[in-house]
Structure 1
Amino acid sequence: MSLLDRKLRRDIGAMRGQVLTIALLVAAGIAVFVGSVSTYESLDTAVERFYATTRFPQVFVTLKRAPLSIVTQLNAIPGVAAVDPRIVREVIVDWPAASQPVSARMVSLVHAGDETLARLHLRRGMAPEPGFSQDAAVNEAFAEANGVKPGEEIRVLLNGKVEAFHVIGVALSAEYVYAVKLGLPIPDDRLYAILWVDRSAAEAGFDMKAAFNDAVISLTPGTDPKPVIDELDRLLEPYGSVGAVERRDQPSNRFLEDELNQQKVMSTTIPFIFFGVAAFLLNSALGRLVAVQREQIAALKALGFPTTALSLHYLKLVLVIVLIGSVLGIAAGWGFGRAMIASYRGFFHLPELTFALAPWSAVLGIVISATAASLGVLTALRQVVRLAPAVAMRPAAPLDFRRSWIEALLPRNVARSRRMMVLRNTAGRPLRSLLTVAGVALAVPMMVLGIFWHDAIGEMIDLQFNLVERGNTTVTFPHPMDRSIIRDLAREPGVLAVEGQRMVPVRLRAGQRSYLTSVIGLAVGDELRRPHDAMLRPIAAGPDGITLTRRLAERLDVQAGGIISIEAMEGRRRKRDIPVSAVVDEPIGMASYMEIETLNRFTDEGAVVSAASLYVEPTAVTTLGRKLKNLPTIESVTMKAYTLTSFMEKIAGLIFVTAGILAAFATIITVGVVYNSARISLQERAWELASLRVLGFTRGEVAGILFGEFSIEIALGIAAGLPLSRVVIDLIARFHSNESFQIPAVVAPTTYLIAAGVVMLAAVASAYIVKARVDRLDLVAALKARE
């Protein structure tokens, strides 16, 4: 073993605490990068494979009723590869165990699940065979949430009659990876099912002999879907089409793509921040570590060791640290990714969703870490080897201390000798102090980033479910009803307030942009659903305009005062140009609003409603739900308590898993930064501190001087890190928002306090460890180190 290798081994043993904490910086950066990237690739691969094997369509269209004979014309549209007509209807399930109505979407099959398009993936049992009208397959999410197994019976309300179906299979579908009831942004698998039945059962149940009301279409490769959609709308308009949509806007796929895009953004933005901070801190820590060994390097060079050998020696130190950090980081990234995929399994129902570590991400993470560390070491080494050995072996020139303006401002009883030493040492080494302050300042946003998600979720819940949607129960009707039904609902026991709403499917157009959605009609003075602007002021729907949520306005590229075209996708399909009266902010979904009387005049249907928002006495909610589930005039009932529970289990639960892991990595980075700053400061000041001890200073006084400087740097770092956290959170919120969810850039004061508290706790713990070393400082050895 060479002399330099023995030195390397001894250095690693002597600095094992610093080596480990610096390696943890590497590990945290690599873990977040590898875990995020690999999670995105695993999820994307699983989705693409599922879409391919189940022949997921490119275009979807819903209509009232059309004869099967028109399918030939649809197949003749240029670019259309295949058309699969179906019967699809929303139904009520008589599920005795549920306290409120269970809704279901019934979908017809022709080939026992092996359909031309939208093929089923069977998990257990089988799909209904042609001619078997009493059999059904159910989606896996509902089956798992309610304990449904093949062989059980499920009762469905069809046209006022209760029909019993035998569940013979449990299946997955690419159309319902994210199975959500119409009008809701969040799925509730306990109260919403997908039922696949043979076409004969759907024909009989809905009087759709030789007809269809839904179609899925695949396109030839390279076909632009827009001309196809335009032609589909033209051909199917006489049959009550509500407008064809491409795969991008299919509800399940839209949410899935939003989540994939968000995960993709997460795999670049958050790891970039973590990696950038870790690389900077790694560069700084190792650079200072080399600078401390200035005299040793000069002595080795004087003994004849070439610069190349010295460079390789310190690069080996880098290699050891990066190797330890990489092993820990890849292992942690693997665990991070597996935890993320496990949380996604309860969120997206895919047949194969397994975590696969992306090798290139591990290699890239190691290369970036090694490069950052090497640059820090070689930069510091270059500054030393450029000096002549005799010069480098001498102690660094003492600082030129002067009375600063800060001292002039201090009262005489404050400006004592030890305090002046602290101030002058801090100000006299501006670069060293600045690096420590920068390291702490960058650690603070890492902590805030790890824990602010709780604030964001709380704000989303408060805005959407307390400020905008103030009712606790929502009822929808199978078709527009006379407003008298609102009075009937108001007489139900426990109902304290009820307001009618009108929901009309529409296509909004602005220039070349269009979006198929529903406009919600609200009455002037409604209190149970109130849109709000960015300043949280309630905005009433204008009598002559339309109000859009901000993300919908951005999708259409319009602003308040602009003109858009609105086309009703039901009834007489009227069209009208209408001004955008206001833009409102809602964290969930993309909605539009009109004054209900204006909307009813537009559709020319009279004073009707299609939904009602209720505020029910909390103790009466369950009783009312059981009663409403048996009323044929009610299509579905949604209770806020169940929606919130589903939100917390699915959306919030997924985010909290990520947030908890990020907070753990942020804590590691924070501790690593603070501990290394304290240890390196001790190494840099060992001779000075020993001199003070010899001059008569006590151990406590010597430690007080060292930690006085450290405390100033920690305080300045926290003060700089808190506003920097605001910038980071604004950036993350902007990149992580999508059409389904808007992440509020909200950070509670307690989050800032926790982040600052973790930094201060790390500082206190580091000071305790370093003080023990100060107490054990070998005065003779420290003073002879420069001889």
Structure 2
Amino acid sequence: MGLVIAAGISYFSASWAAYFSLMDAQSNFYSKQNLCEGFVYLNRAPSFLESKIAALPGISDFETRISKEIVLDFPGEVYPSAAQLISLPEHTNTLYLKKGFLPKQNQDVIISENFANANHLEPGSVLSSIIGGKRVFLHVTGIGLSPEFVYVFRPGNPMPDDKHYGIIWMKREAMEANFNFEGAFNQVIFHFASEGEDRLRTMRDLDALLDEFGGLGAKERKLLPSDSFLSDEFRQLRTTAVFLPGIFLAIAAFLLHIISNRLISKEREQIATLRALGYTSRDVVVHYLKLITFITAISSILGVTVGYFLGNGMTGLYGRFYKFPQLIPIFPPLLALFSVSFGILIGGLGTIISLRSIIQLDPAQAMRPAPPGTYTISFWEAWITNLRTIQRMVLRNLFKRPTRTILTILGLSTSIMIMIIGNFIQDTVGTLLDLQFNTIQKETLTLVFRIPVEDSILFELKERKGVFLAEGQRSIPIKITKNRKSKDTVLTGISEGSDLRRILNHNLQPIDIPVYGIMMNTDLANKMGIRKGETIVIETLDGEKRKITVTVSAFANEILGQGVFINRNNLNRMLDEGSLINLALLKTDPLEDKNLIEEFKDNPLVIGLFSKSAILTAFKAVMQRSLQSTSIVILIFTIIISIGVIYNTAMITLSERIYELGSLRILGFSLKEVFEIIAWELTWQIFVAIPIGCFFGNKLANLILNSNETEGFKIPVVIFPSTYYYSILLALTTAGISFIIVYRKLKTMDLLSVLKVRE
């Protein structure tokens, strides 16, 4: 019992310790490096607009910059890498330099730490890049961190791939020369001069100023990709810090209730004697509360001790993904005090209901042995007349005490439920990977073109050796607005009957792109309050801005992302353009991928190249790093709780039945027959608890994933049969071990001391 409480408290305190550590590191990093409060991306704007931006009353400080994505080529590396190249900041979003020095020459750069570590780069390394169709060699002078990129991932792929994507900072003059951006910029980062509605007015004023230059709309800090992801992660951590320990401690409270209730029933005569001798109900209640408080306090202190070290480990694990200059584990004394108090409170709540019976106890009546239960022959007993005597005794005992039987079954079911919770995430992630990379995305290579090109290029691609199939897509950034809600997303034009890009419905079955109208992600539609058949207005944010009226004709169930889809021919017509594409999906021979990639890397039309196998490898590596450690911790706790529940149930049953079992031994029942009674009683309850535990485990898994759902991720709950089998097997194994212990206790039972009258 103590280990069950300790497990809950340790996970509770460790999760909150990691949360406080991350929040402290984030707050310090954002403050010291002056992270912007707002930002806006655009196509290209002249530098003379800076004076107009400075004149806006709602902006206290701002900085313009240049940002472009470039392709990197590492010798000996099959798959190409990419990087976001950004002009060096002056006073906003400043860099924390971990190694080296700031760039001095035009081709000097600073690179992000994770990218440097993944590619074994140090100050002095040279990078081969493709900038503007030309090969440019970049000299690494330093390795740094930015508050804007605590979590780095490539647009369109929400999982980090540090091996193939990073952030690079270069002198502003060098970027102007390389990209022909003299006297121009394409991003603004700024701080607000006020709060609330004034911020909205400031962003509208800024949008009006930059709209004609392809402004994509001013946004607040919370919509920065890294900060948005961190906010979701912190919210999940808060939820987990309450939810999972809450389950553990609720089980502990439930078991404490059963134990204390049966303990009081067992000691009713002693309690009555104390009451008759002048002790008040309050005195007796306080005695039992002290007993439970001592047990829970010791268990909670053990939990806090384990939680301290576990919290340090969790903080270190988060530090692998979220790069802060200083991520120091924090374990506030108040957290330790609260955790211990919380554990004691849970113990008190689990016991207090049972203690009511002490107050209601009549001393004169309770000093006598408890009267036997009222037993009558039930109609169902006619069906079990052919069973052995022991089997009939077991079934009668279970049905004649329904409350105790139900509570025991519920307690046993939690052991199976908690094991399912500890294992299901592996099944879910495996299914997610299979759906995303084998059902939805069937291409092996994806090409991103610098500018939209005629789809006739697909015929050229098909002629290349190793290319089995080629399909084109046209995608543009859009803004969807309804009432006061708006959302920036991507509208993707997919060819009718596409074989390489499938869209799923709510049953996760592939469906065709509608002939007319658009297909919207279900979650996005729900958030925007958009219904099927509704006509909405979308605004294109790429190139010439235009507002287009479209009908929502179908819904999609995307796992990764919140996109909107349309027939590609319809999108081309809406944009008044020819049959253009800006992405090409290729189904290729894996043996020819290396040669194809080498060809595409040097193609000036290709600005991005994605390999499904490389993305999948990176995805699995991230999942293995993140899930393996946390899953092991949760699994250890769930095993402790599962064993604790079953073992405690067996010991409680033995303790309260010891007098009856001893009497049966005196009456001539053998040790084997007496053991059979208690073993069969527990076995029947375990068998009934198995489906109940599986049912609650499934529902709880859904609840956990729904409470942790984030924008860009919709993970379907999948639990493999093997997970159910494993959970059931552990429960049965624990029951078997408990039976061995029960048998040994019965074998060594002193019948004289068990049966003597207690005065």
TM-score by length of structure 2 reads: 0.96
Aligned-partner residue type, residue 456 of structure 2: S
Q: Does 1:154 align with 2:133?
A: no
Residue of structure 2 equivalent to 1:408: 382
Q: Does 1:580 align with 2:559?
A: no
Native 8 Å contact 2:482 2:528 kept in 1 = yes
**CA distance change for structure 1 residues 385 and 159 in 2, over 3 Å: closer, same or farther?**
closer
Deviation of residue 182 (structure 1)? 2.4
Residue of structure 1 equivalent to 2:303: 329
Deviation of residue 440 (structure 1)? 1.3
Residue of structure 2 equivalent to 1:449: 421
**CA distance change for structure 1 residues 288 and 25 in 2, over 3 Å: closer, same or farther?**
farther
Query: Among 44, 62, 82, which residue is 1:103 paired with?
Result: 82
Aligned-partner residue type, residue 41 of structure 1: F
Deviation of residue 701 (structure 1)? 0.4
Query: Among 173, 181, 186, which residue is 1:213 paired with?
Result: 186
Query: Among 443, 453, 458, which residue is 1:481 paired with?
Result: 453
Native 8 Å contact 2:101 2:142 kept in 1 = yes
Residue of structure 2 equivalent to 1:117: 92
Q: Which moved more, 1:642-651 or 1:420-429?
A: 642-651
Cα displacement string for residues 611-655 of structure 1 (whole angstroms, at most 9, x for unaligned residues) = 111111122223322332222221111111121222222245323
Q: Does 1:705 align with 2:677?
A: yes
Native 8 Å contact 2:281 2:358 kept in 1 = no
Q: Does 1:27 align with 2:6?
A: yes
Counterpart CA distance in 2 for 1:243 and 1:477 is 24
Counterpart CA distance in 1 for 2:688 and 2:343 is 27
Query: Among 493, 515, 524, which residue is 1:521 paired with?
Result: 493
Aligned residues: 758
Cα displacement string for residues 501-538 of structure 1 (whole angstroms, at most 9, x for unaligned residues) = 11111112122111122211111011111111111232
Cα displacement string for residues 287-341 of structure 1 (whole angstroms, at most 9, x for unaligned residues) = 3234323334344445555544433433332132112211221123223323322
Residue of structure 2 equivalent to 1:274: 248
Residue of structure 2 equivalent to 1:294: 268
Cα displacement string for residues 685-730 of structure 1 (whole angstroms, at most 9, x for unaligned residues) = 1111111001111101001001111112222222322222222122
Q: Which moved more, 1:273-282 or 1:765-774?
A: 273-282
Query: Among 656, 665, 669, which residue is 1:693 paired with?
Result: 665
Q: Spell out the pairing of 1:448-467 with structure 2 (5 A cutoff).
A: 448-467=420-439
Cα displacement string for residues 120-165 of structure 1 (whole angstroms, at most 9, x for unaligned residues) = 1111112224xx2121100101100001000111222222222222
**CA distance change for structure 1 residues 379 and 210 in 2, over 3 Å: closer, same or farther?**
closer
> Which structure 2 segments of 5+ residues have no match?
none
Native 8 Å contact 1:495 1:614 kept in 2 = yes
Query: Among 116, 136, 140, which residue is 1:143 paired with?
Result: 116
Query: Among 52, 57, 61, which residue is 1:73 paired with?
Result: 52
Residue of structure 2 equivalent to 1:90: 69
3-state secondary structure, aligned to 1:441: helix
Counterpart CA distance in 1 for 2:752 and 2:611 is 76
Counterpart CA distance in 2 for 1:526 and 1:445 is 42
3-state secondary structure, aligned to 2:170: strand
Counterpart CA distance in 2 for 1:355 and 1:401 is 61
**CA distance change for structure 1 residues 290 and 87 in 2, over 3 Å: closer, same or farther?**
same
Aligned-partner residue type, residue 138 of structure 2: F
3-state secondary structure, aligned to 1:118: coil
Query: Among 286, 290, 294, which residue is 1:316 paired with?
Result: 290
**CA distance change for structure 1 residues 75 and 134 in 2, over 3 Å: closer, same or farther?**
same
Residue of structure 1 equivalent to 2:717: 745
Aligned-partner residue type, residue 94 of structure 1: D
Query: Among 106, 112, 129, which residue is 1:133 paired with?
Result: 106
Aligned-partner residue type, residue 191 of structure 1: H
**CA distance change for structure 1 residues 381 and 507 in 2, over 3 Å: closer, same or farther?**
closer
Residue of structure 2 equivalent to 1:11: none
Counterpart CA distance in 1 for 2:209 and 2:391 is 86
Aligned-partner residue type, residue 311 of structure 1: V
3-state secondary structure, aligned to 2:321: coil
Aligned-partner residue type, residue 116 of structure 1: H
Aligned-partner residue type, residue 93 of structure 2: A
Query: Among 42, 46, 66, which residue is 2:25 paired with?
Result: 46
Q: Which moved more, 1:721-730 or 1:763-772?
A: 721-730
Native 8 Å contact 1:25 1:282 kept in 2 = no
Native 8 Å contact 2:249 2:346 kept in 1 = no
Native 8 Å contact 2:304 2:339 kept in 1 = no
Counterpart CA distance in 2 for 1:206 and 1:283 is 71
Q: Which moved more, 1:200-209 or 1:547-556?
A: 547-556
Aligned-partner residue type, residue 153 of structure 2: V
Residue of structure 1 equivalent to 2:236: 262
Residue of structure 1 equivalent to 2:161: 188
3-state secondary structure, aligned to 1:267: helix
Q: Which moved more, 1:314-323 or 1:287-296?
A: 287-296
Q: Which moved more, 1:133-142 or 1:626-635?
A: 626-635
TM-score by length of structure 1 reads: 0.92
Deviation of residue 186 (structure 1)? 1.9
Cα displacement string for residues 2-42 of structure 1 (whole angstroms, at most 9, x for unaligned residues) = xxxxxxxxxxxxxxxxxxxx111211221222222222222
Q: Does 1:502 align with 2:502?
A: no
Deviation of residue 778 (structure 1)? 0.7
Native 8 Å contact 2:123 2:143 kept in 1 = yes
Deviation of residue 575 (structure 1)? 0.9
Q: Does 1:338 align with 2:338?
A: no
Native 8 Å contact 1:311 1:381 kept in 2 = yes
Counterpart CA distance in 2 for 1:503 and 1:569 is 11
3-state secondary structure, aligned to 2:503: coil
Query: Among 494, 514, 517, which residue is 1:542 paired with?
Result: 514
Counterpart CA distance in 2 for 1:385 and 1:785 is 25
Residue of structure 2 equivalent to 1:684: 656
Counterpart CA distance in 1 for 2:744 and 2:411 is 24
Same amino acid, percent of matched pairs: 35
Aligned-partner residue type, residue 58 of structure 1: E
Native 8 Å contact 1:100 1:628 kept in 2 = no
Counterpart CA distance in 2 for 1:361 and 1:463 is 41
Counterpart CA distance in 1 for 2:374 and 2:392 is 14
Aligned-partner residue type, residue 578 of structure 1: V
3-state secondary structure, aligned to 2:43: strand
**CA distance change for structure 1 residues 341 and 621 in 2, over 3 Å: closer, same or farther?**
farther
Cα displacement string for residues 546-579 of structure 1 (whole angstroms, at most 9, x for unaligned residues) = 2121222233221322222211112321211211
Q: Does 1:232 align with 2:206?
A: yes
Native 8 Å contact 1:500 1:613 kept in 2 = yes
Aligned-partner residue type, residue 78 of structure 1: P
Q: Which moved more, 1:136-145 or 1:663-672?
A: 663-672
Cα displacement string for residues 150-200 of structure 1 (whole angstroms, at most 9, x for unaligned residues) = 011122222222222221110011222222222222221111121111111
Cα displacement string for residues 217-266 of structure 1 (whole angstroms, at most 9, x for unaligned residues) = 22124144433333222221222223333323222222222212222222
Counterpart CA distance in 2 for 1:39 and 1:533 is 38
Query: Among 3, 11, 15, which residue is 1:36 paired with?
Result: 15
Counterpart CA distance in 2 for 1:80 and 1:223 is 13
Residue of structure 2 equivalent to 1:7: none
Cα displacement string for residues 59-88 of structure 1 (whole angstroms, at most 9, x for unaligned residues) = 222222211110111222231122211111
Native 8 Å contact 2:257 2:353 kept in 1 = no
Counterpart CA distance in 1 for 2:349 and 2:124 is 67
3-state secondary structure, aligned to 2:675: helix
Aligned-partner residue type, residue 418 of structure 1: I
Aligned-partner residue type, residue 275 of structure 1: L
Residue of structure 2 equivalent to 1:372: 346
Aligned-partner residue type, residue 765 of structure 1: I
Q: Spell out the pairing of 1:625-636 with structure 2 (5 A cutoff).
A: 625-636=597-608
**CA distance change for structure 1 residues 508 and 652 in 2, over 3 Å: closer, same or farther?**
farther
Query: Among 653, 656, 666, which residue is 2:625 paired with?
Result: 653
RMSD between aligned alpha carbons?
2.0
